[in-house]
Structures are given as C-alpha cells and as structure tokens.
Amino acid sequence: MITMYELIEKKKHGAELTEEEINWFVAGYVSGSIPDYQASAWLMAVCFSSLSDRETADLTMAMARSGEMQTPNIDGFCADKHSTGGVGDKTTLIAAPIAAACGIYVPKMSGRGLGHTGGTIDKLESIPGFNTALPYEKFISIVKKAGFAVAGQTGSLVPADKKLYALRNATATVDSIPLICSSIMSKKLATGAKGIVLDVKTGDGAFMKTLADSERLANAMVRVGQLAGKKCTAVITDMNKPLGRTVGNSLEVIEAIEALKGNAPADLAEVSLTLAAQMLSLAEKGSDEECMAMAEDAVFSGKALERLREMIALQGGNPNVIDDYSLFGSAERSKEIFAPSDGVISEISCERVGIVSLKLGAGRTTKDAEIDPSAGIVFDKTVGDKVKKGERIAVLYTSSRSNLEELAEEFASVVKIESGISEKRNFSGKNVIKIIKGY
C-alpha cells in the first residue's frame, strides 16, 4: 500500500518515485483523498530535491491523463504554442494568425494573467463581444474556418494542473523546473497538437531568471514532448524588458493588430515571426529561412491580419476594432511620465512594470478581481533609447480608483537612465537567444 507520508519522506531524501507512485499521487490529489497539506509538503520537497527526467515525464503524463484527452478532428497539421509567461507578451495574437495564413491550424487554449504576467484570454476579452468560453465542437469549427481560435481552458482539461497550480501559487512552489515543465506540457499533450513551439522567457520578468535555468527548463519540456511522440521546439527569448511598447489588455491587442499591419517594434517582430516560423518548420513547410520568409510575407500581404479579423468575428467579437481602435473604449485617466535627466535608458525592470500595470487595473490583485481592459502602460522610449530631461518616456492609463500619482512615482523608479553611455548599446543582447529543436 502506498502512503503520502512515505512519498514525502522519499522525495525529502531525494529518492526516485516509481511511475505507480506518481500516478497514485496525481489520482489521489485530483479526487481529494490526498489533502492540500500533504501535497504542499511534497511540492516543496520537489523544489529542493527536483525530479529525474523519468519522474518529470511520468508526472506530466499522469497530469495530462487526469482529464479529457482531446484529439482535434482536423485534416491538416495542428501546431500549438505556449509561453512560460512574460510582460507585454502578445505574441500569440501575432504568431497564430501568421501560422494560420500559411496553411497550418492552431487550436490554442490559453490562460489568464498570472502574478505580474499577462494572459491571452484577458487580452482578447478586451475586444467588445469576444467570447473565450467556447464548447469544444464550436472551438474546432472556428479553427477549421479561420485557421486558429483561442479559448480558455475548460474544467475537464487537465484538472490536476488546475488544482496543483493554485496550490503552488499559494505555497511559493511555482519556480521549480520539473513543476513548470509538467504544468505546461500536461496541457499541451492533452490538447492533441502534433507540433508544439515553446516560448521560454528568460530574465528579470520571467519565472526563470538565468539563461542556464531557462535552458534547463527548455530542454526538460522538449524531452517530455519527444517522449510523448510530439515534435517540439523551444525558443528562448529575452524578458529583461517588456516585449514591444505596450503592457495591458486592449493596449496589447492594438499593438498586435499594428504588428499584423507591418508596424511592430523590432523586438516584438523578431520574437513573433520566429515563433510563427518555428511552427511552420514543425509542419515541414521549408528550411528555417524559407519559413521566416513565408511568415514575413503573411504579414506584408495582409493575409495574417485577415485571419485575425475572421477569428474575432467567429468568436463573437466586433471585427471593426481592427480599423477603429476607439471601439475598444479608452481609459478615464492617464498620466504622462517624463525623463528626470538626460541620458540613455539602461534598464526597465520588467517584473516591476508588470506589477505597476496590475495595480493600474490590467491584472488581478485578488483571484476574482475585475480586469480594467483599457488600463496599462504605453512606452514612448525603451531600453537603449537616448532621452532628454523632460522628454516623455511613457503614459500610464487607468479607469480604476488606483492612485495614479503614487503609481507614477513607483513607475519612475523602475526606469533607469544613465549618462555617459552611448545610444542603442545592445543592453540585453538579441531578443531570440536560442532555438532548441527536439525532432
């Protein structure tokens, strides 16, 4: 007979659990026979002792099988993408329509904002009428027509992750490589895509702060994907500054639409096009260079934008937002932020930007808090830009009762301006740092 006491004891001493023990733990925790306090103790032991590759794969499979395993009834290559969580990360809204315009299908289950990071579902819900709670049949019928659809995860998909994630969030056990790997990959395996592109963020705004840890996480996820018979690519991307120029829900949707009109800032274009190209590469559409050229052409021909318009309409949203941004509604109050001195912006603390944006109303400070869709931050300047004293560097937006003066002060301290360094010095290196292919 297996007991939870023994499993905690084993992991505390770094011993390896058997597949049977891991399956027993997942089934028992989902059914409620294992209480939160014992599951928490085990999770904390995992944070200190880690899991072997085999244990990580077994945990991922047990979690994936804890609910419905979907097999999309689509005649064509289905690819999925997942980010480990970032600030200003609107790449799904750009990469998915690009991949769809190039002939592959992207049935995308997305999440809501988590901590200081944003979520695609919250972003899309800033479009008037947009519905992310789709019955599975309807979701797939939209994927067949538009090439992609984005829905929230239903309760029947990976219930083990739903329960474990909430527990990890409350017990400081989120930033463990095998736990993040099993959380993300269980959801990806349960949705049945043939190919998976993983955007593994690295840096101050990411859960993995160092490149070495990000590589470990990327390799772990690719290995688990391979073991489950999926084609998997991990793209390690920079999260030492917000991605693009906006943070906040409708602000990010507008930036994504602009990107599909060919007007993306360089960092956002580089990451989004790379993710789309890697999805095409999984579908064997050509070499990496050919896939990149196809992705660029989907933007410049306007075909990707048309996919987004179609998908918005099919999911009940007002597609006219693409041509008229006033339909999003605007924030009631705004506050301009000016440079306090001459110099070059050497740092924008990504995590703290995420927290200011959350306090402006773009994220949740409590589990059930309402989102303010137009709240957030628009940057006029970013890392590497030269600024003059008194020049505007950003604007904060809110409609909530948040104290704008206080938040403006908090925001000013997250942007570091240095004198005596040259403009456009490459502060954070490339935005796409490494590509790891597991096929």
345 binds ligand URA, rule: CB under 6 A = no
Q: Which is nearer to ligand URA, 118 or 147 (CB)?
A: 118
Give min distance, CB of 249 to ligand URA, in A.
18
Q: Which is nearer to ligand URA, 367 or 401 (CB)?
A: 367
Q: Can 437 be counted among the known catalytic residues?
A: no
84 binds ligand URA, rule: CB under 6 A = yes
Residue 90 near residue 268, CB atoms below 8 Å: yes
**Nearby residues of 363 by Cβ (< 8 Å), 6 or more positions away:** 113, 116, 118, 122, 354, 357, 371
85 binds ligand URA, rule: CB under 6 A = yes
Q: What are phi and psi of 410, to 5 degrees?
A: -60, -40
92 binds ligand URA, rule: CB under 6 A = no
Q: Can 422 be counted among the known catalytic residues?
A: no
Helix, strand, or coil (residue 27): helix
Q: Which is nearer to ligand URA, 176 or 349 (CB)?
A: 176
Give min distance, CB of 201 to ligand URA, in A.
9
Q: Can 307 be counted among the known catalytic residues?
A: no
Q: How far apart are CA 224 and CA 186, in angstroms?
A: 9
Residue 80 near residue 148, CB atoms below 8 Å: no
Give min distance, CB of 424 to ligand URA, in A.
32
Give min distance, CB of 220 to ligand URA, in A.
12
Given the residues 40, 182, 183, 400, select the one marked as catalytic.
183
Structure tokens, 86: 């970032």
Q: Which is nearer to ligand URA, 180 or 308 (CB)?
A: 180
Given the residues 89, 161, 204, 267, select the one marked as catalytic.
161
Q: 82: buried, middle or exposed (CB in 10 Å: 19+, 13-18, 0-12)? A: buried
Given the residues 82, 108, 116, 245, select the one marked as catalytic.
82
Q: How far apart are CA 179 and CA 39, in angstroms?
A: 13
Q: How far apart are CA 118 and CA 252, in angstroms?
A: 10
Helix, strand, or coil (residue 246): strand
Q: Can 392 be counted among the known catalytic residues?
A: no
Size of the site for ligand URA (CB under 6 A): 7
Q: Which is nearer to ligand URA, 234 or 257 (CB)?
A: 234
Residue 382 near residue 348, CB atoms below 8 Å: yes
Q: Which is nearer to ligand URA, 84 or 281 (CB)?
A: 84
As a whole number of Å, the CA-based R_g of the chain is: 22
Give min distance, CB of 47 to ligand URA, in A.
12
Q: Can 161 be counted among the known catalytic residues?
A: yes
Structure tokens, 185: 């990959």
Q: How far apart are CA 169 and CA 175, in angstroms?
A: 10
Nearest to 291 by CA among 233, 245, 224, 217: 233
Give min distance, CB of 12 to ligand URA, in A.
22
Residue 331 near residue 398, CB atoms below 8 Å: yes
Give min distance, CB of 111 to ligand URA, in A.
6
Considering only residues 196-225, where is the footprint of ligand URA by CB under 6 A? 207
Between 150 and 189, how does the x/- string for binding to ligand URA read (CB under 6 A)?
------------------------x-----x--xx-----
Q: Which is nearer to ligand URA, 149 or 198 (CB)?
A: 198
Give min distance, CB of 234 to ligand URA, in A.
14
Given the residues 11, 90, 108, 187, select the one marked as catalytic.
187
Residue 3 near residue 34, CB atoms below 8 Å: no
Q: How far apart are CA 373 and CA 400, in angstroms?
A: 10
Widest pairwise Cα distance in the chain = 70
Q: What is the DSSP string of 152-213?
A: EPPTTS-HHHHHHHHHHHHTT----HHHHHHHHHHHHHHTT-SEEEEEEEESTTSSS-SHHH
Structure tokens, 327: 């339909």
Give min distance, CB of 263 to ligand URA, in A.
29
Q: Which is nearer to ligand URA, 70 or 402 (CB)?
A: 70
Residue 234 near residue 198, CB atoms below 8 Å: yes
Residue nearest to ligand URA (CB): 183
Which residues make up the interface to ligand URA (CB under 6 A)?
A: 84-85, 174, 180, 183-184, 207
User: Active-site positions?
Assistant: 82, 161, 168, 183, 187
